[in-house]
Each structure stands twice: as C-alpha cells, then as structure tokens.
Chain A
Amino acid sequence: MMWRPVLSVGLSISIFLCAWQVLVWATGLKPFLLPGPLRVANALWSNLDSIGWHALITSTEILAGLVFGLGLGVVTAIQLAMSPAARIHVRPVLVFLQAVPFFALAPILTFWMGYGMAPKIVMAMLIIYFPVTSSFFDGLMRTPPGYLDLARTMGAPAWSVLWRVRIPSAVPALASGLKLGAVFTPIGAVIGEWVGGSGAGLGYLMLLANGRAKIDLMFACVVILAVITVLLYWIADRLGEWMTRRFS
C-alpha cells in the first residue's frame, strides 16, 4: 500500500513524458526548439559530470541561503515580538522591503560582492528571509492568551515566557515559513547565477547552453533543478510536519 502513491506519481510522469515525446515526433519540431525527453535524457547522461558539479555549486548556495535566511528571519521575528519600539520603527520598513522585487537587486549584489558565491547566497537568503520572518512573527504574536496568563500567575520572567512559551507555540508557524522558503530559495540562487556569471552553478550552465543553442542541455539543467527543489521541499515538509507534531 505504501508504494501506491509512488506508483501513481511514476505513472503520471511516464504519461507526461510519453505525451511530450509524441508531440515532438508528431509535430516534427526541431530539437533546438523543443527537444524530446529522450534527447534531454541523453544530454543529461553525456554531461553528467559537468551537470553534477554545477548542481553541487547551486545546492551549496541554496543550502547556505536557506540556513542564513532562516537564522536571520528567526532572530528578526524574535526582536520584533520582544520590542514594541522595533514593531513601530522596523516593521514598516520590512513591509516596504518585502514589496521590492529582489530579482532586480541581483545586479547590484553582484556589483557589491563580486562574481563569487556570496551574491547568490544573499539572493537565496533574501528570498526566504521575509516569509520566515513574517510567519514566525505572526506565530509569536498569536500565543494563546491563556498560556501567557498562566505563565504570569506562575511568576515567569519575560525571557522564560519567550523561550518556554512563545517560541514553542510559534514553531508550527515557523514550519510553514520553512516550507515556503524551500520552494523559493532555489529561484534566488539561480537568478543570482544568471546575473552574476561566475562560471559555476546550474543557472550559469543554462545560460551557456542557451547561448550555444544546446536546448537539450538546458532542459537537463531544468530537470535537475526541479529535482533539487522537490527534494528540498520534501525534506522541509517532513521536518515541518515533525515540528508541528512535536509542538502542537
């Protein structure tokens, strides 16, 4: 029974790939316009070393962005929850910054930080920072009032209320932010690679393949990127579910 969902997903993907291949054969589209899945698989196989190396670079950027974004988001949310002054002065700025299209910042980040990994990590970090801050902050502000009343009658100091009441009860909200971040972080890293051509990463390889009309290689990169994102989401989902189960 446990294999049923896996089989059903496998079947759906197989049908999609068959339909794609039939479309290519039936329409006679040139491979540089739309390569079939067999050609993409071939490109993936014959460039496995290169794609693997670039995927490793991108994955490192994604993970670093995720960790830094998560850490910074958690710290900011706690600061906002603890300090009414921060809520008055900092929160409007955060709301405004959230409206900034971060993709537009990629060239500036490259200009400031050079062509290394740093601007890509910062892009990935910025993408996850706001959803994490926002969801965790909401969770911290929605501690059931009864818990706070109880803690107060028990004579709990403020740091203890934060650490032992408000943070644990906000963990499920943080888990939602984490899942959202897992989906968006790869986008940030790849956009960073598109703009700041550092000679490494799947985004860079896609640009290179596109420039040389190697559309099959480009599709192979997209497939690997999708696999990384799905894997990351799956891990975040499992982790989030565990966190929610543990704390709610």
Chain B
Amino acid sequence: MTPPALSVDGAASFQGRQVFAPLHLEIEAARWTCLLGPSGVGKTTILRLIAGLEDGCDFDGAITATDGELVFNRVAYMAQTDLLFPWLDVLGNTLLGARLRGERSDTARAEALIDRVGLSDDISKRPHQLSGGMRQRAALARTLMEDRPIILLDEPFSALDARTRVEMQDLAAELLSERTVLLVTHDPAEAARLGHRIHLMQSYGLVEVPPPSTVPIRAYDDPDVFACQSELMRMLRSRDPLLAREGKD
C-alpha cells in the first residue's frame, strides 16, 4: 500500500463567519504532518473536512490526493477521546469497522494488532476496566484494523499523563510509519517529536516551521527537540509568528 499525499487549498466559513482564512496545506505521503495552533483557529475543522465529517461548514476550495482518488473514504480517524463503545470489549471495539459495514470479521488479524499494542491480556475487557493509556492503545488497534492509507489524529494523546503520552507517541510513530498522517495538536513538544513537517496555524493562515534536523520519532530529551519546542512556543505566544522566528517579537 503506497499512501497518497494530500493538499488542502481554500478557506472555510460558518454562517458567514470565517473559520479559517485561505490557506494551502501540503500533507506529505507516508510522513507525519503536524498542525499546531491555539484553540479555535480551525485546526480540527481542516481535519474534519478531510474526513468528510464537516457538514455545517462552508468550504470554498479543494482537498485532493496525489493519486486523484477520493480522500474521505480512505481515512481512519482517532480523536481526543478514545470513542471506544462501552458495550463492546477490546476485541469487539477493534473489529468495529467490519461489524458496522456488515463485513466478515478478521478476528486473527485483530488479535495480532491487539498484541502489537500490548493489550493481549486485556482482550476481553470492556473500556471501563482499562486505564486511559490502555484505552488509547485499544483505539490505536481499532484505527490500524481499518488499514487505511490516511490517518487523521485529533489530539489523541492530550488527555494522557506525561509518561503515557510519550509511550503512546512512540507506539503510534512505529505503527503508523507507512501512512500519511495528519496530527492536530496543541502541544509543541509533541509536534517537535513527531513531525516530519510542522505547520503553525493562526487566524490569518499557516506558517511552516522547520522541524528538528533528526528523523522522527525523536527522543523527548533530544536538544534539537527542546530547541524546536522553544521556538514553537515562542511563535505560539507571539502576535506575529514570522517576527518571533526572527527574534524580533
């Protein structure tokens, strides 16, 4: 499976009010693209537009894949909350996509994926019996089970404690390495660790920020990661990110 690259061109509005200004976002094939920015700037709207989930929003533009195929039916989606169905166990949640489409369930593959995310001993547990980290692991297994080339991640690790978050970033980077990934995040450290490309989103559009010179996934204590994280934070706090990058704001 060779995943496509994506591009998002256009602006969005809701009931006549601008959600985000005209922008151009390139999402590279088989790479992690991080979209960083403050709340309410339209990051999640971009992700939902790619997934074909945004109904109320008026999007003036185009979302295209390099292979010319449709995009929305080739995405798997992971949200901030794990969205595990409480009435299903880990295996049932992993097999959810096939169940919902009325397809035959590939239980052996689901069990192998559950093993890869380290939940073999908890395969029959229901979500309320799992910790936050375990729940996100189960959600990751469900995402992988869909076997889609494009993965959309909407702050999936933000509710986890610091240690579990780092572990989940490692695991996700390993398991999603051959997919085209768009990660929406609030966290500069996360973008600095995971991003092949990092875009800072502000109300007037996008600014691309050079990632650390090393290859993701980067060590959380890598000096380059710290430097990138500091720069991202400075730009996030600044009224003009470009000036901040040049040290003038």
Write the residues of chain A forming the contact surface with B, with a CB cutoff of 8 angstroms.
144, 146-147, 149-157, 160-161, 164-165, 168-169, 171, 246-248
Would you call B210 an interface residue if the criterion is a C-beta within 8 Å of the partner chain's C-beta atoms?
Answer: no
A-B pairs with beta carbons under 8 A, tally: 58
CB distance from A214 to the nearest CB of B (A): 52
Identify which of B72, B73, B83, B87 contacts A168 (C-beta below 8 A). B87
Contacts of B10 in A (CB 8 A): none
Contact between B83 and A156 (Cβ–Cβ < 8 Å)?
no
Can you name 8 A-B residue pairings with CB atoms under 8 Å? Answer: A153-B52, A153-B75, A154-B97, A155-B100, A165-B100, A168-B87, A169-B85, A247-B86
Contact between B77 and A150 (Cβ–Cβ < 8 Å)?
yes
Would you call B53 an interface residue if the criterion is a C-beta within 8 Å of the partner chain's C-beta atoms?
Answer: yes
Write the residues of chain B forming the contact surface with A, with a CB cutoff of 8 angstroms.
48, 51-53, 72-73, 75-77, 79, 81, 83, 85-87, 96-97, 99-102, 146
Contact between A154 and B79 (Cβ–Cβ < 8 Å)?
no
Contact between B76 and A153 (Cβ–Cβ < 8 Å)?
yes
Contacts of B72 in A (CB 8 A): 153
CB distance from B70 to the nearest CB of A (A): 12
CB distance from A11 to the nearest CB of B (A): 36
Bound-state CA distance A156–B77 (Å) is: 14
Contact between A153 and B100 (Cβ–Cβ < 8 Å)?
no
Bound-state CA distance A154–B76 (Å) is: 7
Contacts of B86 in A (CB 8 A): 247-248
Q: Which 5 A-B pairs have the closest CB atoms?
A: A156-B100, A154-B97, A153-B77, A247-B87, A146-B83
CB distance from A69 to the nearest CB of B (A): 25
Contact between B96 and A149 (Cβ–Cβ < 8 Å)?
no
Bound-state CA distance A147–B99 (Å) is: 14
Contacts of A146 in B (CB 8 A): 79, 81, 83
A144 closest partner in B (C-beta): B83
A interface, over-half SS: helix
CB distance from A4 to the nearest CB of B (A): 28
Contact between B99 and A157 (Cβ–Cβ < 8 Å)?
no
Contacts of A156 in B (CB 8 A): 100-101
Contact between A153 and B53 (Cβ–Cβ < 8 Å)?
yes
Contact between A150 and B83 (Cβ–Cβ < 8 Å)?
yes
CB distance from A149 to the nearest CB of B (A): 5
Contact between B101 and A149 (Cβ–Cβ < 8 Å)?
no
Contacts of A168 in B (CB 8 A): 85, 87
Contacts of A164 in B (CB 8 A): 99-100
Contact between A154 and B102 (Cβ–Cβ < 8 Å)?
no
Contact between B77 and A151 (Cβ–Cβ < 8 Å)?
no
Given contacts A150-B83, A154-B97, A248-B87, 5 further A-B contacts (CB under 8 A): A150-B79, A152-B52, A153-B75, A154-B100, A246-B87
CB distance from A64 to the nearest CB of B (A): 30
Bound-state CA distance A147–B79 (Å) is: 10
B55 closest partner in A (C-beta): A152
CB distance from A202 to the nearest CB of B (A): 39
Contact between A153 and B87 (Cβ–Cβ < 8 Å)?
no
Bound-state CA distance A154–B85 (Å) is: 14
Contacts of A246 in B (CB 8 A): 87
A246 closest partner in B (C-beta): B87
A150 closest partner in B (C-beta): B83
Contacts of A153 in B (CB 8 A): 51-53, 72, 75-77
Contacts of A150 in B (CB 8 A): 77, 79, 83, 96
Bound-state CA distance A171–B85 (Å) is: 13
Bound-state CA distance A44–B238 (Å) is: 84
Identify which of B48, B83, B87, B101 contacts A155 (C-beta below 8 A). B101
Contacts of A152 in B (CB 8 A): 51-53
Bound-state CA distance A156–B52 (Å) is: 13
Contacts of B52 in A (CB 8 A): 152-153
